[in-house]
């Protein structure tokens, strides 16, 4: 009986291992097939000439600048907000948590439309006319990207702060540190991997943002043309080769960001 149970257990473990590896193989082959099809379609001589064009270089520059600005603003606000959600109890916390999560589940186009409606209200028009123009302008790109990525930053950082043992902060307070000093000298260093992951992932998400951007800032060549918008414009004019070239640029940027994240995270863990 015991040998039968042992053999059954071994067979079950093998079946489980096969099932997990099969799922991994299917996903890997699926996404690899997409990349291979793009590579097979591309004329590489044309590809490099497209990349050197003024339009695509401008789109790359605009995307990197706006995504970086949106990610920096997002992290500045997300760090204290996520810490408050993680460590503070207050009335209506669940409601606040739900509101901050909405950009994750609501379509980016809907978020862009909501922003567009806001800038047609008296408050929004006052901002547009007296402070800064966002509708169909470059600042609108940053605002749209920020609106989409901030919820992701808060969610990632809240999970990071949730995972830190509050005992460390209590020990810091017993040593005479203020709450602010404990946060900067104990909590943030303990959360460094989560902070890094959140910064890189939100920046990468901002790079690929399209729906809210095109709704609020429009799709104007050489003005509000980010890389995703460039794909849309070139597909709309049936310039598939140029669209594919931009897709490759986005893939390279995303892959580079993920590789940097993994290397820096592993290095931090080793140290």
Nearby residues of 111 by Cβ (< 8 Å), 6 or more positions away: 103, 144, 147, 148, 211, 212, 215
Q: Which pLDDT belongs to residue 270?
A: 46
Does one domain contain both 219 and 85?
A: yes
pLDDT in tens, 106-121: 999 999 999 999 999 9
Q: Is the pLDDT of residue 252 over 70?
A: yes
Structure confidence at residue 175 (pLDDT): 80
Same domain, 106 and 200: yes
User: At how many degrees (to 10) do helices 54-87 and 44-51 cross?
Assistant: 70
In this predicted structure, what is the pLDDT of residue 215? 93
Q: Are residues 121 and 79 in the same domain?
A: yes
Q: Residue 202: CB partners within 8 Å, gap ≥ 6? A: 71, 74, 75, 78, 149, 150, 152, 153, 156
Q: Give the tens place of pLDDT for each residue, 206-246.
A: 999 999 999 999 888 888 999 999 999 999 888 888 888 89
Residues 235 and 136 in one domain: yes
* Strand (E) or helix (H) holding 106: none
Its sign, for the CA torsion 122, 125, 127, 130, is negative
Does 23 share its domain with 65? no
Percent of the chain with pLDDT over 90: 42
Are both 31 and 125 inside the same structural domain? no
Helix axes 54-87, 192-207, angle to 10 degrees: 140
Same domain, yes or no: 122 and 28 = no
* Beta carbons of 149 and 66 less than 8 angstroms apart: no
123-163 pLDDT per residue, tens: 999 999 898 999 999 999 999 999 999 999 999 999 999 88
Confidence of residue 8 (pLDDT cuts 50, 70, 90): low
Coil vs helix vs strand at 105: helix
DSSP assignment string, 127-141? HHHHT---TTSHHHH
Closest by CA position to 115, among listed 104, 127, 98, 105: 127
Same domain, 72 and 170: yes
Query: How many domains, the chain?
Result: 2
Same domain, yes or no: 147 and 244: yes
pTM over 0.85, yes/no: yes
For residues 93 and 100, give the distance between their C-alpha atoms in angstroms, rounded to a whole number: 11
The answer on 249 and 175 residing in a single domain is: yes
Residues 51, 37 share a domain:
no
- 25, 119: one domain: no
Which domain does 21 fall in, by range?
1-41
Burial (CB < 10 A; 0-12, 13-18, 19+), residue 131, is: exposed
Each residue of 46-80: pLDDT tens digit?
Answer: 888 888 889 899 999 999 999 999 999 999 999 99
Output the domain CATH number for residue 166. Answer: 1.10.3720.10
């Amino acid at each position: 009986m015991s040998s039968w149970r042992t053999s059954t257990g071994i067979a079950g473990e093998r079946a489980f291992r096969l099932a997990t590896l099969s799922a991994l193989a299917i996903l890997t082959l699926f996404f690899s097939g997409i990349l291979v099809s793009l590579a097979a379609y591309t004329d590489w001589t044309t590809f490099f000439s497209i990349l050197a064009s003024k339009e695509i270089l401008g789109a790359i520059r605009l995307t990197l600048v706006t995504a970086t600005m949106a990610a920096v603003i997002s992290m500045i606000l997300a760090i204290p907000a996520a810490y408050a959600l993680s460590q503070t109890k207050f009335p209506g916390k669940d409601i606040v948590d739900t509101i901050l999560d909405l950009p994750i589940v609501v379509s980016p186009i809907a978020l862009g439309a909501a922003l567009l409606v806001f800038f047609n209200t008296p408050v929004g028009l006052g901002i547009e006319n007296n402070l800064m123009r966002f509708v169909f302008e470059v600042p609108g790109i940053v605002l749209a990207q920020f609106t989409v990525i901030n919820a992701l930053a808060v969610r990632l950082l809240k999970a990071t702060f949730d995972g830190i043992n509050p005992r460390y902060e209590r020990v810091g307070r017993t040593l005479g540190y203020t709450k602010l000093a404990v946060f900067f000298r104990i909590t943030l260093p303990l959360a460094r991997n989560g902070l890094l992951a959140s910064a890189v992932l939100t920046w990468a998400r901002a790079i690929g943002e399209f729906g809210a951007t095109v709704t609020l800032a429009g799709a104007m060549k050489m003005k509000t043309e980010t890389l995703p918008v460039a794909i849309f414009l070139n597909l709309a004019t049936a310039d598939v080769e140029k669209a594919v070239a931009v897709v490759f640029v986005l893939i390279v940027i995303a892959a580079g960001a993920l590789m940097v994240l993994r290397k820096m995270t592993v290095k931090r863990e080793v140290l």
